[in-house]
Amino acid sequence: MLANAAGAFRTMPLGDWMDWEKTVAEQRLRANLSPSGTSRGVVIASPQRENPDYYFHWVRDAALVMDVVLDLSLKDHSWEVFLHEFRDFSRANQLTHAPTGLGEPKFHVDGAPFTGPWGRPQNDGPALRAHALIRWAHIKLSRGKEISALLPVILTDLDYVSAHWREPSFDVWEEEKADHFFTRLSQWQALSSGAALADLVGDSSRAFTYRLEARHLGSELQNFWNRSRNQLDVSRNHREGLNYKHSQLDTAVLIAVLRTGSTLFAVQDPRVASTVTKLENVFHEIYPINHRAEAPGLALGRYPEDKYSGSGFEQGNPWVLCTLAAAEYYYKLASLRSSPALIEKGDQYMARVKYHANPDGSLSEQMDRHSGFMTSARDLTWSYAAFLTAYSARAEARRALLVRHSKEKP
Ligand code: NOJ
Ligand code: NOJ
């Protein structure tokens, strides 16, 4: 099977590959949820334990992955158990004494906080976790189920976000302490949707506070628009850590827009569009792998000045989840505009991921900027989550097109 697939997948039509890759992504993502030897509820970032060692529960990765597990559970109940376990493991994390409390970025697989040197706090974590759990709470409530074990986890995160969002923290890439677009937009989304949930459960005082803080946050966020550069800057007010991101261009901006689904910076916002165009241009230019004639589409990385290779700081590479973010972006635009051409743009990015993927469908964190081979952490859980959200966005865009056609030709 593997040997056959190895040769076959290169020539497999893109649509077939994506359908097959979907099953691979689901299986491999599932294998990273509470694998044997870990506490129930753990989401390992990757099974790789060396160079880099990603065998930890990262709050951010776990939250983004569980948001996808929630979608999967709506179609297949066998995923539900992971949501319950994640809820309980997250509660235990919250109650554990960690160096930076709720802002602690990662935990050992037995639930103990990681206490070695690290970029901390990372305040996107509690916001993203609240966002996923709030969605789950709404689904439970709409089915007449109770949320008594879930609510404390959500409110603890939201109280933290509401009290601490003004403080600088390390970014999504764990490198720089500053004020970040990604973190702030995640916080805005969590507080906004949290206010609605607080209302629903009759906690009007929390609803009031969350709404008030979300309003302040919302106006703060407008400052990330850099008019002279025609882009959304990724960070402001640098405090410590890495300081060579001179372009202020970062795919994290797009990922924040996609993952929060925020109305403040929506997919169709022209400020997002010009930022994406600049990212495409710069990554086209700097990655040798983007100059290969036979390679479809483009491979995108985190930010142009990136040096992190997974095992060291000698070479920044394109990332699977960044390239998939571009695919998802065009699919979402395609849905809004019922545009086949935009689906095709998304497909070019998917084709690029197919081009670099391992023959067995497994996806790592990065793709070598020269050779194109998968590199850094193998089976990165977040890569699979990114594939699945892009895949769903494509299905949605195709449905939108069908609806348009059926309206045009009654
Ligand atoms: C690992 C992080 O996750 C990566 O993004 C970062 O570049 C290095 N540590 C250095 O902080
Ligand atoms: C490095 C990434 O920069 C960070 O965002 C992620 O949380 C860790 N790897 C674990 O996947």
At 46-83, the pLDDT tens digits run: 999 999 999 999 999 999 999 999 999 999 999 999 99
pLDDT of 7 reads 59
pLDDT tier for residue 313 given thresholds of 50, 70 and 90: very high
Q: Give the pLDDT mean for 103-113.
A: 98
Q: Using one digit for the tens of pLDDT, what is the confidence trace for 124-165?
A: 999 999 999 999 999 999 999 999 999 999 999 999 999 999
What CA–CA distance (Å, rounded) separates 64 from 128?
7
Interval between CA 193 and ligand 2 midpoint (Å): 25
Question: Can you give the pLDDT at residue 404?
Answer: 86
First to last CA, the chain: 45
Nearby residues of 26 by Cβ (< 8 Å), 6 or more positions away: 72, 384, 388
Residue 209, beta-bridge partner list: none
CA pseudo-torsion sign 83, 89, 90, 91: positive
Q: Which atom of ligand 1 is nearest to the CA of 307?
A: 7
For 82, residues 6+ apart whose C-beta sits below 8 A from its C-beta are 30, 33, 34, 41, 66, 69, 73
Tell me, in angstroms, the distance from the centre of ligand 2 to residue 399's CA: 33
Closest ligand 1 atom, CA of 119?
11
Q: Assess contact for 190 and 123: CB atoms under 8 A.
A: no
Q: How far is CA 22 from CA 16, 309, 349, 375, in A?
A: 10, 26, 16, 21
* Mean pLDDT of all residues belonging to the chain: 96
pLDDT score for 409: 74
Rounded CA separation 392/350 (Å): 12
Give dist(CA 399, CA 389) in Å, integer.
Answer: 15
Q: Which residues lie with the beta carbon below 6 Å from any ligand 2 atom?
A: 45, 54, 58, 60-61, 172-174, 382
Question: Does the structure show a pLDDT above 60 at 6?
Answer: no
pLDDT in tens, 169-222: 999 999 999 999 999 999 999 999 999 999 999 999 999 999 999 999 999 999
Alpha-carbon gap, residue 206 to 187, rounded angstroms:
15
Continuous segment of H or E residues that includes residue 239: strand 235-241
Question: For residues 334 and 329, what is the distance between their CA atoms, to the nearest angstrom?
Answer: 9
Q: Would you give the DSSP letter of residue 94? A: H
- Predicted local distance difference test score (pLDDT) of residue 4: 45
d(Cα 324, Cα 210) in Å, to the nearest integer?
Answer: 32
Whether pLDDT at 10 is above 90: no
The residue whose two tokens read 């990662």 is 106
Residue 3: per-residue pLDDT: 40
- pLDDT above 90 coverage of the chain, percent: 95
Closest ligand 1 atom number to CA of residue 52: 1
Which tens digits make up the pLDDT trace of 317-357?
999 999 999 999 999 999 999 999 999 999 999 999 999 99
Cα–Cα distances (Å) from 101 to 96, 106, 407, in that order, read 8, 11, 54
CB distance 54 to 48 below 8 Å: yes
Compute the average pLDDT of residues 290-308: 97
Counting ligand 1 atoms within 8 A of each CB, the residue from 120, 182, 308 with the most, and so the one to mutate, is: 308
From the CA of 45, the nearest ligand is: 2
For residue 215, how far is its CA from the centre of ligand 2 (angstroms)?
29
Name the residues annotated as catalytic. 171, 174
Q: What are phi and psi of 238, to 5 degrees?
A: -55, 135
Cα 337 to ligand 2 centre (Å)? 33
Give the tokens for residue 196. Answer: 């609605």
pLDDT at 410: 65
